[in-house]
Chains A and B, each alone.
Chain A
Amino acid sequence: MSLKRIDLLICCGSGCVSAGALKIKERFHEVLNEKGISNEINIIETGCMGPCDYGPVMVIYPEGIFYKAVTPEDVSEIVENHFIKGRPVQRLMLHDEEKTFAAQKDVPFYQKQVKVALENCGYIDPESLDEYIATGGYEALGTVLTTMTPQQAIDVIKESGLRGRGGGGFPTHAKWQMVHDAKSDEKYIICNGDEGDPGAFMDRSILEGDPHRILEGMMIAAYAIGATSGFFYIRAEYPLAIKRIKHAIEQAKAMGLMGESVFDSKFSFDAEVRTGAGAFVCGEETALIHSIEGMRGNPSPKPPYPSTSGLWGKPTVVNNVETFANVPSIFVKGAKWFASMGTELSKGTKVFALTGDIRNTGLVEVPMGITLRELIFDVGGGIIGGRKFKAVQLGGPSGGCLTIEHLDVGVDYESLKARGAMMGSGGVIVMNDQNCMVNIAKYFMDFCVDESCGKCSPCRIGLKQMYDILERIVHGYGKIGDIEELQRLGEAVSRLSLCGLGQSAPNPVLSTIRYFRDEYEAHIRDHSCSTKVCLALMHFDIDKDNCIGCSLCARKCPVNCITGSREEKYTIHQLDCVKCGNCQDVCPVKAVNRVPGMHPEEKTKRDTLKKQHPHED
């Protein structure tokens, strides 16, 4: 054995061999030859080193550093960083147990969270009433029924400052008070579980993970307003949530927590589950009520509000799932405790659903007023794949986009509204720099056009017009003045629509115009989409210097628009190209590139057509 700088001992026990140790060894030989340092390193095969769990494993002397679970892809990194630069690769090291596992309390994802509505989600068995009771369940209901008057219960909610978690942020106690004060032989309470916002799934998770909490919250509300029957309206897309809430109702009845004179009080209550059949607009309370009545889910003008004339014309309270989930905790831990969290006007915590290009997708619950930066980068772990943050869409299709300059804005009802976004139900869609904002706005508009119920013209016609303009822009037929037209239409639709869907549907477009106007202008004026997402405003191009003339792209092209030969390399005939991207996918040397901007040939063709048919747009 000649004297070498480094000894690399690769375990070739049977465990490691089955995990691919021999491939790793080959790969080391290859990379070391490439780098020209194979004479400095001794590669030694050893027998089993023991920790077969972590195979393939290896030890590197003189330092004695132990690497585990090495893949062929890791090899060049080890050679580059460890052998050449002398920096061992931390991520592959085998640590002892305490060091590898971050304890939950030390992980930023958990550190900034305060669980109220999600307190039991992921901790108890949702189908076991005993487990819910073990965590203190139904104590709030018992206390309210045996020691408080309905008015006192409403006062507690008032003191807590709880506001509607469905998005509007209407004070919960005010809704309850109105129905409490209304004179009627029958009053109803409805739980709105028609969570349709793209990117929101907090209601589903709570219904599936802690159904009794919602039931308890609903019963406290029913007692406060004087309702004896309640309805859970849950969208049909959530079969598991429907199943679990039904199960919870049966259990509560069997245990005597629901039905006649609960806790020996005068309060009797019965609840049933109703489902939708796929309509986003049914999340709007008047539409939801129509849907329960077995009709089309069209909203109706307000007033009259449901609090005076709701389900079957009776006074009705409609509260969102997450709103109910907060209620039991407020009675157990006190209104002061709840009001101590959050900001002056937005009390308590809010559940957010983090989705899109973010590392920790999922559900988080944080005190209101947390900054977007903390929410996205500390709790959410930042952008996936280390790309750049570009924008975040808050509040689904009724919300708006915020940008990098808003990262220090606190997340609460008022701050978001002031900047053209909205709390909504709590969906947070994070986008990296590869997203085209015009295209995203078009996507949201498409959703709203689909989901508009068609009852009122501003929403039915206005949104379609806006969608058509956006469609034109992304296909390269945008005209000067389109941006102003979108703004004009957007404001008209917001002002004139009957319900929240239409009133807020233009928000994504208006907010992207507000913060990304340059992208709209580039699409219209320069016929160029800088992110290369809009197919009409980009083109594929083969880099002749890199092309090796292998013909793979030409053979994979579905419209045969690529020609060439080994000698003269390959060229794309732009006018025939359908931009399927196959050529880019198959090119072994990455010589096919996406280039922003419409190809000049295409532009000329369109201009000629325009001259021939000047009146056609």
Chain B
Amino acid sequence: MKTLADLKKIREKAQEEMKFRGGNVRIKIVVGMGTSGIAMGAREVMKTFLEEISNRNLTDVLVTQTGEKGLSSMEPVVDVIEDGKAKITYGNMNPDKVKKVVVEHIVNGRTVSDYVVATGD
């Protein structure tokens, strides 16, 4: 890292990757892992997502983390991002709800409307 041009290169590469990290990611799940989220059980939510996804061998799903969105009253908060679709934000998640989201939304493509707290960016 020596110049602004170097930084720009890294940025462009990172933007590409951030979109969908390489070629085969169809869907990205982002769990809010700030202290508020963790205090409300985000670790369990994260764990359940990872378990469910590996149990089903879903190789085109990526699970990552982020900080707090500011929706304390709806923690744990999870975003589901699909290319070309509006982002879906699920709130007040727990392991049981995660299982349902995986079956309904991730596998079958149907949004679980009861848990949705917002859509779009």
Contact = CB atoms under 8 A, between A and B. Distances in A.
Report whether chain A binds chain B: yes
A133 B10 contact: yes
B96 interface: no
Contacts of A138: 7
A100 interface: yes
Contact of A134 (B2, B14, B74): B14
B15 interface: yes
Contacts, number: 136
Given A105-B120, A209-B66, A359-B73, A97 B3 contact: no
A53 B2 contact: no
A589 interface: no
Contacts of B100: 53
A124 B113 contact: no
A53 B112 contact: yes
Interface in A469-502: none
B6 to A, nearest CB: 9
A143 interface: yes
Given A118-B70, A130-B17, A53 B114 contact: yes
A139 B7 contact: yes
Contacts of A363: 68, 70, 72
A454 interface: no
Interface stretch (A255-263, A288-296, A533-541): A255-263
Contacts of A102: 118-119
Nearest to A207: B67
Nearest to B38: A240
Given A100-B113, A126-B65, A362 B71 contact: yes
B54 interface: no
A125 B11 contact: no
Interface in B21-64: 30, 32, 34-36, 38, 64
B119 A130 contact: no
Candidate in A240, A362, A365 with the most chain B CB atoms within 10 angstroms: A362
B83 interface: no
B67 A133 contact: no
Contacts of B7: 133, 138-139, 142
Contacts of B30: 125
Contact of B34 (A125, A131, A136, A208): A208
A195 to B, nearest CB: 12
A364 B72 CA distance: 10
A122 interface: yes
A127 interface: yes
B118 A208 contact: no
Candidate in B11, B30, B38, B67 with the most chain A CB atoms within 10 angstroms: B67
A143 B4 contact: yes
B34 to A, nearest CB: 5
B3 A122 contact: no
Contact of B69 (A97, A121, A126, A146): A121
Interface in A65-102: 69, 97, 100-102
A361 B77 CA distance: 14
Nearest to B12: A134
Contacts of A136: 11
B107 interface: no
Given A134-B11, A362-B72, A124 B119 contact: no
B119 A208 contact: no
Given A118-B70, A146-B4, A238-B35, A125 B64 contact: yes
A366 B114 CA distance: 29
A121 B1 contact: no
Contacts of B11: 133-134, 136, 139
A264 B2 contact: yes
Contacts of B64: 125, 128
Contacts of A209: 34, 66-68
A263 B1 contact: yes
A136 B15 CA distance: 10
Contacts of B15: 134
Interface string A137-151: 011001100100000
A205 to B, nearest CB: 5
A121 B118 contact: no
Contacts of A3: none
A107 B34 CA distance: 23
Nearest to B88: A101
Candidate in B70, B77, B89 with the most chain A CB atoms within 10 angstroms: B70
Given A126-B66, A142-B7, A104 B120 contact: yes
Given A134-B15, A138-B7, A263-B3, A104 B118 contact: yes
A139 B9 CA distance: 12
A202 B72 CA distance: 12
Contacts of A121: 34, 66-70
A354 B9 CA distance: 40
Given A103-B119, A124-B66, A208-B35, 15 more contacts: A101-B116, A103-B86, A104-B118, A121-B34, A134-B17, A139-B4, A143-B4, A205-B67, A205-B68, A208-B34, A209-B34, A256-B2, A263-B1, A362-B36, A363-B68
Interface of A: 53-54, 69, 97, 100-105, 107, 110, 118, 120-128, 130-131, 133-134, 136, 138-139, 142-143, 146, 201, 204-206, 208-210, 238, 240-241, 255-257, 263-264, 359-365
* Closest 6 pairs between A and B when the two form their complex, measured CB to CB: A209-B67, A122-B69, A363-B70, A362-B72, A134-B14, A256-B1
20 contacts: A69-B114, A97-B113, A101-B113, A122-B70, A125-B66, A130-B18, A131-B14, A134-B14, A143-B4, A146-B4, A205-B34, A205-B68, A209-B67, A238-B35, A255-B1, A360-B73, A362-B36, A362-B68, A362-B69, A363-B68
